[in-house]
Amino acid sequence: MIIPIGCDHAGFKTKELIVKHLTNKGFQIKDFGCYSESSIDYPDYAHPVAQMVEENPGMIGVLLCGSGNGINMTANKHAGIRSALCWEKEIASLARSHNDANIIAIPARFVSEEMAIEMVDVFLSTVFEGGRHQNRIDKIPC
C-alpha cells in the first residue's frame, strides 16, 4: 500500500517520524514534502496528496500542519476527499469507521509525536462500517 504524505514547516519533524514508522511497517511512502522547517505555504503540499488520494479509490493519505486546519481545509476542496482533523486516537477511529475519511490531518503543534504515530496507525487499520453511515457519506458532495 502506498501512503501519500505532506506537511508544512510546522509538521516537518513529525512527518519525518511518521514516514520512518510507516516505512518500517512495510508501507511505501510518496513524500510530497515539505523537506525542512523553512516557512512554506501548506496548500502547495496538501493539493498533491489530495489529488493522489482522489485519483486512487481506497488510498489513504496523511497531512500535517501547525493547527491541522489549513491543510485539512485545502484537502477538502477536492471533491473526492474526506479529510478529518484528528487530535486523538478515538477521533481518528471514528473518522474512518463512520465518515469513511480518506485523509488524516494532524495538528503537529498540538499533539505529541507519539500520539501522531498512534493516530496514523489507528486511521490505517480502521475499516469503514458502511450501513447507515454510507447514507450520510452519500449526502456530503455538493
Q: Which mean pLDDT values do the consecutive 10-residue runs of the chain (142 residues) have?
A: 97 98 98 97 98 98 98 97 98 98 98 98 97 94 86
Give the pLDDT score at 141: 87
Give the pLDDT score at 29: 98
In the residue annotation, 98 being an active-site residue is answered as yes
Dist. CA 5–CA 48, nearest whole Å: 9
Spot the catalytic one: 34, 65, 78, 86. Answer: 65
Single pTM value for the model = 0.97
In the residue annotation, 78 being an active-site residue is answered as no
With beta carbons less than 8 A apart as the criterion, state whether 64 and 15 touch.
yes
Spot the catalytic one: 21, 47, 98, 133. Answer: 98
Domains of the chain (ranges, CATH numbers): 2-138 (3.40.1400.10)
